[in-house]
Amino acid sequence: MSRIKTDICIIGAGSGGLSVAAGAVQMGADVVLIEAHKMGGDCLNYGCVPSKALLAAGHKAHATAQGAFGTEGHPTVPDFAAAKDHVQATIDHIAPVDSQERFEGLGVRVIRDRARFISDTEVQAGDHVITARRFVIATGSRPFVPPIPGLDAVPHHTNETIFELRERPEHLIIIGGGPIGMEMAQAHRRLGCKVTVLEGQEALGRDDPEAAAIVLGALRAEGIEIVDGAQVSAVSGTEGAIRVETDDGRSFDGSHLLVAVGRQVNVEGLDLDKAHVGFDRRGVTVDSGLRSTNRRVYAVGDAAGGLQFTHVAGYHAGVIIRPMLFGLPAKARTDHIPWVTYTDPELAQVGLTEAEARKKHGDRLFVARADFAHNDRAIATGQAQGFAKVMVVKGRPVGATIVGPQAGELIQIWALAIANRLKMSAIAGMVAPYPTLGEINKRAAGAYFSPKLFDSPLVKRVVRAVQRWL
């Protein structure tokens, strides 16, 4: 048994763990990084990267098949295996950035084994016992597979296996109508599969209802069957012939099954109780600075029990670097965190939705809105469906919702504004190049000021008075 002493020991080589490791070692700290599975974690291997690559393949197939602007479409049966080749090639291209070799080159000691705490100050990984001044739990999460009767005996996929499937499903049934389910539904539909989505409540039910309706309408128009209120009660069948039953007596038959009903945080097997680290089913119990009940131990990303996004894990890494390396106070925020559903059209959100803002701020809320129907670039490209709306309180945005082309890119200006407490005047004063989709943000900011300028009797009286004296 070898013993290692280090400044920082990180458990998990996903986005959060890798960000902490790279930042800490390059600023002079001794770092040990432990990973039992794949470097890069869920995002690189099973999540963000492969899903966006598959969506891109589906988008290309869809664009080729659709006629527009006088150009005839060329409907073909997409090469499903080639699409999966693109997925793997994308992972392979990015993988070296997250690789063991790169991090060892930076000076990080990488141990490929399972980790568990054996005391307040020690972790064991294989034949190594690591003593550290600070520990970071960055173990991420995995797909949650609900205890549906019969599911354990029926072949089914999660996001950890669906990208390995090389033969096109004839009819893919997806349990779960959240962002992952909707993205995979559109990707597979555009690659030639029949797709049915079963959602126990409402598809995209956590998003702004008006924005979600536009996305769901577009997906249904492409032939995706989306069934709300379909609480699954049983699953049966064999590969190629699967039946899903709901508690209201309906049944749905398909060839393949994807379970996409949420995520489960990876804390089992860490023996957190031996380190006096509090946790529950949501993850590690942390304070506003992401520190656990053991002051030596931090948690980031999904393991911290909050928003489950790769960019949140990276943000958390930046938060904990300050106290760990410099002894400076730092707190994590959530009000400025954006998220995106990468369907076509995209749906992006940062801060409060309109419903949340009305509940919190009441009559103080002003909703500024601009529609893509009035955006010249969107009209020119045939993408003039959707809108941007910004929730404003006392001149500052507290939330923004965008549904439409490149919503994930367009939301970033509102994430910047909320993070830095900018006023709407900062966005209104921006000069956006014409014609661009980004003009919609300036137009939304202008919509906040328009009533104050154009509907004000006082402004009109002042203008008339000034004109008499000029």
Question: What does residue 327 show for φ and ψ, rounded to 5 degrees?
Answer: 70, 20
Is 302 among the annotated ligand-binding positions? yes
Under the phi-then-psi rule, with left for phi > 0, alpha for psi from -120 to 50, and beta for the rest, what region is 411?
Answer: alpha
Is 170 among the annotated ligand-binding positions? no
**Could you tell me how many helices (H) and strands (E) the chain has, helices first?**
15, 23
Is 140 among the annotated ligand-binding positions? yes
**111 three-state secondary structure:** strand
Cα–Cα distance for residue pair 305/309, rounded to 1 Å = 11
DSSP code, position 169: P
Which helix (DSSP H) or strand (DSSP E) does residue 466 occupy?
helix 457-469
Is 141 among the annotated ligand-binding positions? yes
List Cα–Cα distances, 294 to 17, 33, 192, 332, in angstroms: 19, 19, 52, 18
> CA neighbours within 13 Å on the CB side: how many for 134?
23
Is 111 among the annotated ligand-binding positions? no
Question: Token match 């001794």: residue?
Answer: 30
Cβ-contact 375, 437 below 8 angstroms? yes
Structure-derived torsion over alpha carbons of residues 330, 336, 342, 344, reported in degrees to the nearest 10? -170
Which helix (DSSP H) or strand (DSSP E) does residue 17 occupy?
helix 15-26
Is 158 among the annotated ligand-binding positions? no
Is 222 among the annotated ligand-binding positions? no
The sign of the torsion formed by the CA atoms of 198, 237, 54, 161 equals positive
The terminus-to-terminus CA distance of the chain in angstroms comes to 89
Is 179 among the annotated ligand-binding positions? yes
**290 three-state secondary structure:** coil
Cα–Cα distance for residue pair 87/44, rounded to 1 Å = 11
Is 318 among the annotated ligand-binding positions? no
Annotated binding site: 52, 139-141, 176-183, 199, 262, 302
Annotated binding site for FAD: 52, 139-141, 302
Annotated binding site for NAD(+): 176-183, 199, 262
